[in-house]
Amino acid sequence: MLAPHIDDWRAMVDSVAIDTAYDGEVFDVDLIDIPERRSDLVDGAYEIDAPDRDRPAAVRLTDMLGEEILVVEPRA
């Protein structure tokens, strides 16, 4: 099997969206990173305020093919 070699994971990401207080049902975007040009990359590192410490933060990554993954991180 031939696996592609990708030097930077950001080259495969179309957008990053973050919900700082995900309720488990509605993804409410607090920050979104969509590169301006196709040749640009997402930043990949973000600092955000998270005022509601009772709810987990969620990050939605969308790749260049439109596939999405949602990662929910519980508060410590």
Q: Is 67 left (phi over 0), alpha (psi -120 to 50) or beta?
A: beta
pLDDT, residue 34, reads 96
> Each residue of 17-65: pLDDT tens digit?
999 999 999 999 999 999 999 889 999 999 988 777 789 999 999 999 9
Q: Which of 53, 55, 46, 47 is nearest to 28 (CA)?
A: 55
Where along the chain do its domains lie? 9-73
| Residue pointed to by tokens 């410490």 | 53
Question: Rounded to two decimals, what is the model's pTM?
Answer: 0.85
Tell me the CA distances in angstroms from 17 to 22, 45, 54, 55, 75, one per residue in order.
12, 12, 20, 16, 18
